[in-house]
Chains A and B, each alone.
Chain A
Amino acid sequence: MRLRKILVVAKKEFMDNVRNRWLIVLTAIFMVLTVASSILAGEGKLGRIEATVITLLSLSSMLVPIIAVVLAYGTIAAEAESGALSVVLAYPVKRIEVVLGKFLGLSSVVASSVIIGFGSAGVIISLATDWSEWKDYGIFMLLTILLGVLYISLSVCFSSLMKKRSTALGAGVLIFFWGMIIGSIWLGIYAATGGSLTELYTGSVDKFPSWFWYEIFLSPQDGNQAATMLAFGQKEIMGFTFEMPHWVNLKNIVLAQLIWTAVPLLLSIYFFRRRDI
């Protein structure tokens, strides 16, 4: 494995995808949403960063995975179908270098989108209000980038497993929805096993069984939201106060998200090496 070859592939991937029309549209949506959330949070004027982020969170944790899936679902399946990949693999480059290069390049596209979209809006808000919370905002952006990279890894994995572009997209959409609905499934199990939904709505949920909190590690989106809340020292979500067990902390959530990234990436290398192009 040679770093130079990985970087050559990564650079190409970045240059090709940074001009993706969807990416540009979604990045613009980020900027507009951030400023809009800030105005909402500030009741008409630009509000504080913390309140802005809380308002923004459910949207960002949904949009960033969508961007990642759109960018990466076709990176192997579609290129194998079109014939572009056979040219690349006829060059003196190893398959592992191609997968890692693609992962790196696509990840940097997502990171750029987050930095440009949220970052520029963050600067506007900070200029209008104050700079004291830039550090927390930075953590918020890092966590958002991590979520994007995680979904890049998942999508690359499906892309290297699936023969066709369409099935790779289907798998990407499925894994996105997994993160979105696992919370509801969990609540269903909680209710079905005798848990009280009234307790949930009245906010007295200290007595949640410990398995209930596993959900945060199973859903990348919810993990991202919880991690951001923890980073801002928030314990309130949509009006409900949560007392989380001590092991549901920022460090463990980030660790879980790193595992969510590493495992699919290793699997993509495995699938890609075995694949006929």
Chain B
Amino acid sequence: MVPVPEDQLPVILPTDANLLSEGRSPLPELASFLNVKCPQCGADAKRETDTMDTFICSSWYYHRFTSPRCETAPAAKEEINYWMPVDKYIGGIEHAILHLLYARFFNKFCRDLGILTADEPFANLLTQGMVIKDGAKMSKSKGNIVDPDEIMKKYGADTARVFMLFAAPPERDLEWDDSGIEGSHRFVTRVHKLFAKWIPELKDLKPGDGGADPELRRMRHVTIKRFTIDVRDRSHFNTAIAAGMEMINFLADYKPKTDADKTELRGTLIDFLKLLHPFMPFVTQELYDSFGHKEYLTETAWPGYVEEHTVSSVQTIVVQVMGKVRAKLEVSAGTPEEEIKRLALAHEKVVQAMGGGSVKKIIVVPGRLVNIVH
């Protein structure tokens, strides 16, 4: 038994073979495939008719992707060593041993052959849960299939994607829910509607600098922060979408009062499109285009946020007299302690509760509470 010389590869699988109904391979009976000359001695010989486990094919495909048309090696060295290892690999838990163990084995063998330098093929693994309906995995035999084509036809790809990302965190099983897909579609539709309303008016405004409504600015920065942390650090895409829904609720009722507000709103809407793009790429690209921008959203930079802009500028402070809540104060963030004490003691309800007594002790918990003992 001798290996086929490397320059005679591939050994082509004949596609003119007739399959046998009982499932046996036709190769052992296919003379044109079977009969060959021995590559070493030239004598008549027979070809191996056995085929490989397909788990071998899938044990190295991630190498091939780095230079898929390379003809001199499984992958070109500079390509495979630039791209490998895979930084994020996503798939089902059912491959926990099979594919993932075989691929690790192959990668180590390839490293020993000098094909690449990485010891491990997959630096980070995300195992996603199943999609289930009526308590069971979707399958033809159970008759609980939802056809992606129908969903896309009825609601569009953006809605299908949003639902898949909103219905459960990635590692958990996702229960299909018809009202859930309706809800996702409403959300995408509301995004479109909001932008369609504002784009004609805001399109040609130039970016401004400050002086705008602090609450609008706060919502802008809070939303960017939530999306960034949920996607980058937590892989909780569903809570990012929830933040997007809160933002839509806020913006739907928002009425700019000044030109500065309008400029801030324009900037907020554009940032919001960027945050939503990975979730609903089509509609966000269309709306971005309607703003007059020509580049792809994937070419734009993810918006940044300023931590201090994420906290509310107005604080509500509870005033207690002898442990009982008597009043609430609204002050702007950063108001000095002495000023807060003065405002608390001057409050009508507090004066009433103290009944003319003199202050023995007054404690201020910044941003939250004033406690007066008399």
**Chain A partners chain B:** no
Question: Which residues does B use to contact A, with CB under 8 Å?
Answer: none
Please give the residue numbers on chain A whose beta carbons come within 8 Å of chain B beta carbons, in ascending order. Answer: none
